[in-house]
Amino acid sequence: MDSCMPVRKYGYKNIYTCQKCGGQTVTIDIDEGVTPFMLRCRATGEEGDCDGMAQSCMYRVPANSPEPQWEWFTPRGFEYRELSPQMKEHVDKGGLVIRKKGRHEQDAPTGYYRDSHGSLRLASPSHPKR
């Protein structure tokens, strides 16, 4: 990544404002790590609806800001293995990856479940897929 934010502890909200449409993408860090200063617009809740780039407000978020629709996380296990070599390098250096908030609860492949941190774990009789 070209320009990343300093390492933050998890739980911080951030807002990215699109330079093209003016929409806002609200994110939350669910793991410690670095996040980019710019990202593709996701203001509608979907990536690709606007082809603009959104700029970070540097974690200066008003108290009455909307709830986050996206989360920054550290991929582990299966998720990490599925990353491109460039993204693996980013994560290995402390970078976080973005995903739709709550997606980790729904996208566990057959035979796996998500633990309380959102990481994929192999299902077993003591930990069945939920």
Percent of the chain with pLDDT over 90: 62
The confidence score (pLDDT) of residue 61 equals 93
SS3 of 76, please?
A: coil
Locate the domains of the chain by residue range: 13-122
Within 8 A by CB and 6+ apart from 46, the residues are none
* pLDDT at residue 10 is higher than 80: no
Decide: 32 and 10 in contact? Cβ < 8 Å: yes
pLDDT band at 94 (very low <50, low <70, confident <90, very high): very high
Residue (of 30, 28, 26, 1) closest to 119 by Cα position: 30
Give the mean pLDDT of 54-67: 94
pLDDT band at 1 (very low <50, low <70, confident <90, very high): very low
* pLDDT at residue 6 is higher than 60: no
As a whole number, the mean pLDDT across the chain is 84
Q: How far apart are CA 66 and CA 16, in angstroms?
A: 12
* pLDDT at residue 11 is higher than 70: yes
Write the pLDDT tens digit of every residue in 28-50: 999 999 999 999 999 998 888 99
Look at 80 and 2; give whichever has higher pLDDT.
80
The confidence score (pLDDT) of residue 25 equals 97
Q: What is the DSSP secondary-structure string of 40-51? A: E--TTSSTTSS-
The confidence score (pLDDT) of residue 130 equals 43
